[in-house]
């Protein structure tokens, strides 16, 4: 079974803090993704990575950055957390290549910024 | 860019009845259309998907249909059971990188 784990299920941070969300997958997947999920808006792509040290902006990258130093690990960084970044954050991975698009999601991190 | 709409936003059915959720997309280059089920407190889980070279796919009680001309695809669940109650998301992507999701449908199956 593919396993995608996220470092925290719940996180409370203060405005202005630097926040790190970690994601690890154990299936040697090429692609990794970070989404945020808000009621009525579905999942919106923040960043994705198709290889180590590679990253691509998604639909809402402002206020976020990412790091992928190892194939299995993809980190989302909030440089200076703001209250409008309170949300559920979901990490996903997929095998990559032209034939393998299936995404596998982690359980999510519910971040509250006060 | 791609835009995905999903209807209805909420759906209640009696146990044993069928449920249908519809999505439309805007980018004719999209070629992969997955459906995810998200239960409370969990991440989304892929339940079925379809590629643009196929019109219909079925897996037990779940089926997906795709109309490329009209740019819409639908999820069909037959013989619904209480454990089908969840939020369902459709998505579209071009070659598996930039996925665009619909806003979700909350399905309630009433016993």
| Contact between chains at A48 and B102 (C-beta distance less than 8 A) | no
Question: Residue A42: its chain B contacts at CB < 8 A?
Answer: 4, 6, 89, 101-104
DSSP state at residue B82: G
Task: State whether A90 and B97 contact (CB < 8 Å).
Answer: no
Give the Cα separation of A113 and A25 in Å (integer). 26
- pLDDT for position A99: 58
Best CA proximity match to B80, nearest among B8, B10, B17, B12: B17
Q: How far is A28 from chain B (nearest CA, A)?
A: 17
Rounded Cα gap, residues B94 and A31, in angstroms: 14
To the nearest whole angstrom, how far is the Cα of B107 from the nearest Cα of chain A? 14
Q: What is the per-residue pLDDT across A100-113, written as a single tens digit (0 to 9) for each?
A: 688 899 999 999 99
In this prediction, residues A13-33 reach a mean pLDDT of 95
B109/A99: higher pLDDT: B109
| Those residues with Cβ within 8 angstroms of residue A93's Cβ, 6 or more apart along the chain or in another chain | A2, A4, A23, A25, A27, A29, A31, A32, A33, A74, A103, A104
Mind listing the pLDDT tens digit for each residue in B29-81? 999 999 999 999 899 999 999 998 889 999 999 999 999 999 999 999 999 99
Closest to A59 measured CA to CA, from A82, A28, A37, A26: A37
Contact between chains at A56 and B100 (C-beta distance less than 8 A): no
pLDDT given at position A100: 64
Residue A56 and residue A46 in contact, taking contact as beta carbons nearer than 8 Å: no
* Cross-chain Cβ contact B95/A98 below 8 Å: yes
Look over chain A and give the mean of its residue pLDDT values, rounded to a whole number: 93
Rounded Cα gap, residues A76 and B42, in angstroms: 19
Nearest to A48 by CA among A76, A25, A72: A76
3-state secondary structure of B26: coil
Rounded to 5 degrees, φ, ψ at A17 are -70, 155
In the DSSP assignment, the letter for residue B53 is T
Query: CA B77 → CA A9, B82, B92, B96, B98, distances in Å?
Result: 31, 12, 20, 25, 27
């Amino acid at each position: 079974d593919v396993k995608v784990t996220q470092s925290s299920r719940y996180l409370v941070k203060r405005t202005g803090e630097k926040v790190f969300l970690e994601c690890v997958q154990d299936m040697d997947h090429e692609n990794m993704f970070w989404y945020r999920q808000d009621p009525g808006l579905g999942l919106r792509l923040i960043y994705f990575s198709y290889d180590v040290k590679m990253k691509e902006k998604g639909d809402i990258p402002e206020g976020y950055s990412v790091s992928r130093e190892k194939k299995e690990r993809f980190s989302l960084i909030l440089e200076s957390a703001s209250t409008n970044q309170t949300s559920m954050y979901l990490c996903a991975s997929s095998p990559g290549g032209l034939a393998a698009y299936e995404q596998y999601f982690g359980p999510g991190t519910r971040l509250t910024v006060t | 860019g791609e835009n995905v709409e999903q209807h209805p936003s909420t759906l209640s059915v009696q146990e044993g009845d069928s449920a249908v959720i519809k999505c439309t997309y805007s980018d004719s280059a999209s070629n992969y259309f997955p459906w995810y089920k998200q239960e409370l407190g969990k991440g989304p889980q892929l339940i079925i998907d379809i590629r643009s070279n196929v019109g219909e796919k079925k897996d037990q009680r779940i089926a997906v249909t795709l109309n490329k001309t009209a740019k819409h695809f639908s999820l069909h669940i037959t013989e619904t059971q209480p454990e089908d109650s969840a939020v369902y998301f459709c998505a579209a992507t071009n070659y598996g990188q930039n996925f665009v999701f619909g806003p979700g449908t909350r399905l309630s199956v009433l016993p």
